[in-house]
Structure 1
Amino acid sequence: MVRKVTKISAELIAAKPKLRVAAYCRVSTDSDEQLVSLEAQKTHYESFIKANPEWELAGIYYDEGITGTKKEKRTELLRMLKDCEQRKIDFIVTKSISRFARNTTDCLELVRKLTDLGVFIYFEKENINTQSMDSELMLTILSSLAESESISISENNKWSIQKRFQNGTYKLSYPPYGYDYLDGEMVVNEELAAIVKRIFAEALSGKGTHKIADGLKNDGIPSRRKANWTATTVRGILCNERYTGDVILQKTYTDEHFNRHYNYGEKDQYLIKKHHEAIISHEEFEAVGKLLNQRGKEKGIEKGNSKYQNRYTLSGKIKCSECGSTFKRRIQGNGNNKYIAWCCSKHIYDISGCSMRSIRDDVIQQAFITMINKLIFGHKFILKPLLQSLKAVNYSDNLFEIQTLESRIEENAERSQVLIGLMTKGYLEPALFNAQNNELRKEAALLKEQKEALSRSVNGEMTVTTEVEQLFKHVSKAEPIDSFEENLFERYVERIVVYSQVEIAFKMKCGITLKERMVI
């Protein structure tokens, strides 16, 4: 009897399905440096997951600019849980328990929920895989430690800050406008101090904060970080007691739930007199304070009121190419022929100082419509080559170096917390504590400086790439527009530069500048 043998091709054998693995990342602030750090984490997990032939990348979920103590505020974490419920994820990797959740209850609740769904988690730092655990004991202990660590760090920091408040050694996070730091001390910057004196003098003469800000802008005087002078900025200077040489510490505080509040008497405040050299006398400061309070009562304006916020889409966005001033909104014409126009603020106050004429609001809007429609029709020739060249840049080496520096900064912070803990419990002599703490601070400052320098170099290009990509996605799918869309303008345009009554340029947030001729 001849046996019949049938060959089964290897291709017909069902291959073992790959494990769909997702990664979760989180940073606690939304600063540029932290966002680059987030990008470093994302790059790490992409490589980590793709390096395993039995895994396939199911997505990278990341929350930025939020605290790890409140899961309800982490939208990406909640989205990841939803995807797990929809059977899109089999396994999750994350850096540590403290990154995943700093609250024991939340951590266990999330782990149990995922386990019920058949989804397990790998915590890199602790080397824990919830799939291989016989019980929740170890996770309970470690998550409790993470929660305790969060509280302990906060309490130790508070203790350290309180001590510095009490003995007058607390260093302000940054000196106010008009001062510099020199060898750890606040010293007067004579050039900027003259501006502060001018602001107080003009306020005492009866000028409002808006007029003071306009005068500073028109005279081309730089503000802190080269930002625009505003009424709010001026008011902040006029209400800052530090210009008298005194300092009030603990104006705000953090509660046990990690929420920040203004201190209205819930915590002690500390007044340090003659902390540094004064720019303004106490008499001037108090006189200005009375004027501001009186003017506020007369107008019925409370602190923090939004009365003076920009009310129009183009407010603060139009710049003069001739003098650099901001354009202001005006109603021009007479009777039935009135129309909205934008005028150079310097030209308004001094025609000889700037010759730029006003431009109509509807003409600007039409130029924007034309510009967007050109991008919609020609995005393949305008944006696509730019996007391809930006994406070709490889940041992996820099991102790896940033991640290495981050790890070293974390280790330094952990050593610092141990040191503070030993000091608070009386196990360490003050002299030894100060010596070791100073060394750690020097090391932390150097590491932070290196990381920030590297982050700034990477962040600029990454931001441009993201903005170009977002604009490309929009215009590649959008239909031509026939009316001005405020949301579209605010999303993609950083500012408008006016060259003449017939030519303006739209400086886009992605870095490109597009000129348009206007039809009057």
Structure 2
Amino acid sequence: MKKITKIEQNRDYTGKKKIRVAAYCRVSTASDEQLVSLENQKVHYEHYIKANGDWEYAGIYFDKGITGTKKDKRDGLLSLIADCECGRIDLVITKSISRFCRNTTDCLELVRKLLDLGVHIIFEKENLNTGSMESELMLSILSGLAENESVSISENEKWSVRKRFQNGTFIISYPPYGYHNEDGAMVILPDQAEIIREIFASALSGKGTGAIADDLNTRAVPAKKGGKWTSATIWGIIRNEKYTGDALFQKTYTDDSFNRHKNYGDQDQYLVQGHHEAIISHEVYEKANAVMKQRGREKGISDQTEKYHNRYGFSAKIKCGECGSNYKRRINYKPSGSEIAWCCSRHIENAAECSMKYILDDRIKAAFLTMMNKLIFGQKLILKPLANSLKGQNDNSRFEKINELEKKLEKNIEQRQVLTNLVASGYLDPALFNEESNELSRQAELLRDEKENLIYFIGGDMSRTEELKKLIKFVSKSEMLTQYDDELFLSYVERITVLSRKELVFELKCGLKLRERLVK
């Protein structure tokens, strides 16, 4: 006898296929601040897509540190298009046309290509859906505006800044160490000013920038934002004319392709003498710089060449575990031949203050290869657990606050743009423009400070996560290494701490600290 089983109707089934939706995000630089902004966008779109019952989440595609004017260099966008071609996506959401493309030709080309594949795009800011458009006229107009948006804003902002350079009303929003802003004016911080005077005095006495930095770090003198002193920081202070009370504006400039350049006379510069109270005299400033330039000439360094401490992969990367000083490169001459070694700078100056003796360059390189090969061989045991521990550390409430601050900053920029347009057209009195513009600049500074504080808490973990992803990607595809490479070392190692002549610690950019023995 036949057995019949009734299968109940699925009353939840509507017969309607869900739309597979992906999002595209982009930020223009790879800084910690922009990295957090990118993470904000990713969190927003993931929640937004999953909250729609008719949509199926198809992923987030993103680019960081890439300009919107160069489509061929945006791997995330190209990957999105490739998945659309493979039929994995039905709809794409992006913040605005300018985030998607700032080139009219590229924008229309991509939109047409996706429309041919049956994929529509929603531009949130412009409230535009390519699936409901009867013609390309509106998109062409909007993308044309987006293409010119950066140029227009940039030129107007440059005009505004130059005007403030010329009339001496420009506010230095981020004063150097030794000063702080008070009602738009640079005011001396007495404790920090004493450190500045000490740095110049040390330079005049013949001390090198590395030695000055090491001395300040040993005494636990906090640098700007509580960081560590470096040779480059000291060199930057000695070269900074602001400590004389003067201010030289437009040391750098942005070209028509939005690339930043050092100004070697390509653009006008503006020197404002007596801009603020001086910490050191012009005479001390000029003598200290003359001493530094002479030291540079003796070592074959010029202002426009690679800095001395970056000539070798290990330079400024090796720290003494006993006294905390930097290691310096030395060549030991022996009857059997010469050998490259690295030695603690304090031990070189006075062996009684640090007992750490030199270590050979070849042995450090061999230890690095051993460490990397261990990671290649045991990545699942070492790197994967660290990756899992870093997941989910992002604080959504902080992201929401950062989003709120970014919106306020965007509004601030729009208000300044309106002011610039009004004064440029002659509708606003220049004196009133300066007053309103400076007030908006102060508000923007407060908003940026609040945003930076939030980024400080979450940016570290995110940066380490990104570095860890890069390392995992490398070791998962790499064969065992047989030869040392400076570029590889600099890509993954933050510093080396020497514990003894037999053991050191590699501190990786992803946060891992791995001990290795120095084998003879």
TM-score, scaled to structure 1: 0.83
Instruction: Determine if the alignment matches structure 1 residue 461 to structure 2 residue 457.
Output: no
Shift of 1:121: 1.2
Match of 1:407 in 2: 407
Instruction: Determine if the alignment matches structure 1 residue 29 to structure 2 residue 29.
Output: yes
Q: Is the CA contact (8 Å cut-off) linking 1:327 and 1:344 kept in structure 2?
A: yes
Q: Render the CA deviation track for 1:99-151: whole Å, top value 9, x for unaligned.
A: 22334344333323433443321101111111110112222232333344433
Match of 2:216 in 1: 220
Q: 1:103 to 1:470 in 2, by over 3 A?
A: closer
Q: 1:171 to 1:213 in 2, by over 3 A?
A: same
Which one-letter code corresponds to 1:96 in the other structure? Answer: S
Q: Is the CA contact (8 Å cut-off) linking 2:202 and 2:212 kept in structure 1?
A: no
Instruction: Determine if the alignment matches structure 1 residue 229 to structure 2 residue 248.
Output: no
Task: Find the residue that maps to 2:176 and give its secondary structure.
Answer: coil
CA distance in 1, matches of 2:169, 2:73: 36
Instruction: Determine if the alignment matches structure 1 residue 108 to structure 2 residue 104.
Output: no
Q: Is the CA contact (8 Å cut-off) linking 1:320 and 1:327 kept in structure 2?
A: yes
Match of 1:41 in 2: 41
Q: Is the CA contact (8 Å cut-off) linking 1:330 and 1:340 kept in structure 2?
A: yes
Shift of 1:359: 2.1
Match of 2:97 in 1: 97
Shift of 1:219: 2.2
Q: Is the CA contact (8 Å cut-off) linking 1:218 and 1:345 kept in structure 2?
A: no
CA distance in 2, matches of 1:180, 1:108: 48
Shift of 1:295: 7.8
CA distance in 2, matches of 1:514, 1:29: 30
CA distance in 2, matches of 1:451, 1:203: 36
Instruction: Determine if the alignment matches structure 1 residue 492 to structure 2 residue 488.
Output: no
Q: 1:441 to 1:305 in 2, by over 3 A?
A: closer
Q: 1:147 to 1:56 in 2, by over 3 A?
A: same
Which one-letter code corresponds to 1:276 in the other structure? Answer: H
Q: Is the CA contact (8 Å cut-off) linking 1:25 and 1:42 kept in structure 2?
A: yes
Q: Is the CA contact (8 Å cut-off) linking 1:327 and 1:345 kept in structure 2?
A: yes
Task: Find the residue that maps to 1:351 and give its secondary structure.
Answer: coil
Instruction: Determine if the alignment matches structure 1 residue 324 to structure 2 residue 320.
Output: no
Q: Is the CA contact (8 Å cut-off) linking 2:97 and 2:143 kept in structure 1?
A: yes
Unmatched segments (≥5 aa) in structure 1: 1-6
Q: 1:245 to 1:109 in 2, by over 3 A?
A: same
User: For the aligned residues, what is the CA RMSD?
Assistant: 3.8
Instruction: Determine if the alignment matches structure 1 residue 511 to structure 2 residue 507.
Output: no
Q: 1:517 to 1:283 in 2, by over 3 A?
A: closer
Once the two structures are superposed, the pairs formed by residues 297-376 of structure 1 within 5 Å of their partners are 302-306=302-306, 308=308, 310-332=310-332, 334-336=334-336, 338-376=338-376
Shift of 1:458: 1.7
Shift of 1:432: 6.2
Task: Find the residue that maps to 2:322 and give its secondary structure.
Answer: coil
Q: 1:259 to 1:384 in 2, by over 3 A?
A: closer
Q: 1:479 to 1:219 in 2, by over 3 A?
A: same
Shift of 1:347: 0.2
Once the two structures are superposed, the pairs formed by residues 132-281 of structure 1 within 5 Å of their partners are 132-190=132-190, 192-193=192-193, 196-197=196-197, 207=206, 212-220=208-216, 224=224, 226-230=227-231, 233=233, 235-263=235-263, 267-281=267-281
Shift of 1:313: 2.7
Q: 1:321 to 1:260 in 2, by over 3 A?
A: closer
Q: Is the CA contact (8 Å cut-off) linking 1:199 and 1:212 kept in structure 2?
A: no
Task: Find the residue that maps to 1:220 and give its secondary structure.
Answer: helix
Which one-letter code corresponds to 2:391 in the other structure? Answer: K
CA distance in 2, matches of 1:501, 1:300: 31
CA distance in 2, matches of 1:435, 1:217: 40
Q: 1:518 to 1:240 in 2, by over 3 A?
A: closer
Shift of 1:227: 4.6
CA distance in 2, matches of 1:147, 1:376: 45
Match of 1:3 in 2: none
CA distance in 1, matches of 2:136, 2:262: 40
TM-score, scaled to structure 2: 0.83
Task: Find the residue that maps to 1:219 and give its secondary structure.
Answer: helix
Task: Find the residue that maps to 1:514 and give its secondary structure.
Answer: strand
Q: Is the CA contact (8 Å cut-off) linking 2:301 and 2:308 kept in structure 1?
A: no
Task: Find the residue that maps to 1:461 and give its secondary structure.
Answer: helix
Q: Render the CA deviation track for 1:398-429: whole Å, top value 9, x for unaligned.
A: 32332233223223322332233234334345
CA distance in 2, matches of 1:74, 1:504: 39
Q: 1:316 to 1:58 in 2, by over 3 A?
A: same
Task: Find the residue that maps to 2:92 and give its secondary structure.
Answer: strand
Which one-letter code corresponds to 2:451 in the other structure? Answer: K
Which one-letter code corresponds to 1:217 in the other structure? Answer: A
Task: Find the residue that maps to 1:170 and give its secondary structure.
Answer: coil
Q: 1:102 to 1:513 in 2, by over 3 A?
A: same
Which one-letter code corresponds to 1:229 in the other structure? Answer: T
Q: Render the CA deviation track for 1:311-367: whole Å, top value 9, x for unaligned.
A: 333222211111101112223351226433221111011111111122233333343
Q: Render the CA deviation track for 1:466-507: whole Å, top value 9, x for unaligned.
A: 334444555566555565455553333221111222232222
Which one-letter code corresponds to 1:496 in the other structure? Answer: I
Shift of 1:168: 0.7
CA distance in 1, matches of 2:425, 2:235: 44
Q: Is the CA contact (8 Å cut-off) linking 1:217 and 1:325 kept in structure 2?
A: no
Task: Find the residue that maps to 2:319 and give its secondary structure.
Answer: strand
Task: Find the residue that maps to 2:316 and give its secondary structure.
Answer: coil
Shift of 1:372: 3.9
Q: Render the CA deviation track for 1:155-186: whole Å, top value 9, x for unaligned.
A: 33223212211221112243334444344322
Moved more, 405-414 or 120-129: 405-414
Q: Is the CA contact (8 Å cut-off) linking 2:19 and 2:54 kept in structure 1?
A: yes
Shift of 1:95: 0.4
Task: Find the residue that maps to 1:215 and give its secondary structure.
Answer: helix
Q: Render the CA deviation track for 1:222-261: whole Å, top value 9, x for unaligned.
A: 655645533x555544443333322222233334443444
Q: 1:310 to 1:153 in 2, by over 3 A?
A: closer
CA distance in 2, matches of 1:473, 1:264: 40
Q: 1:284 to 1:411 in 2, by over 3 A?
A: closer
Q: Is the CA contact (8 Å cut-off) linking 1:212 and 1:234 kept in structure 2?
A: no
Q: 1:359 to 1:28 in 2, by over 3 A?
A: same
Task: Find the residue that maps to 2:516 and give its secondary structure.
Answer: strand
Shift of 1:298: 8.5
Task: Find the residue that maps to 2:76 and give its secondary structure.
Answer: helix
Shift of 1:72: 4.6
Q: 1:202 to 1:31 in 2, by over 3 A?
A: same
Q: 1:317 to 1:408 in 2, by over 3 A?
A: same
Q: Render the CA deviation track for 1:293-315: whole Å, top value 9, x for unaligned.
A: 78878887653212635233322
CA distance in 2, matches of 1:443, 1:179: 19
Q: Render the CA deviation track for 1:46-105: whole Å, top value 9, x for unaligned.
A: 222333444444442222234334445544334434544555543321001222233434
Match of 1:391 in 2: 391
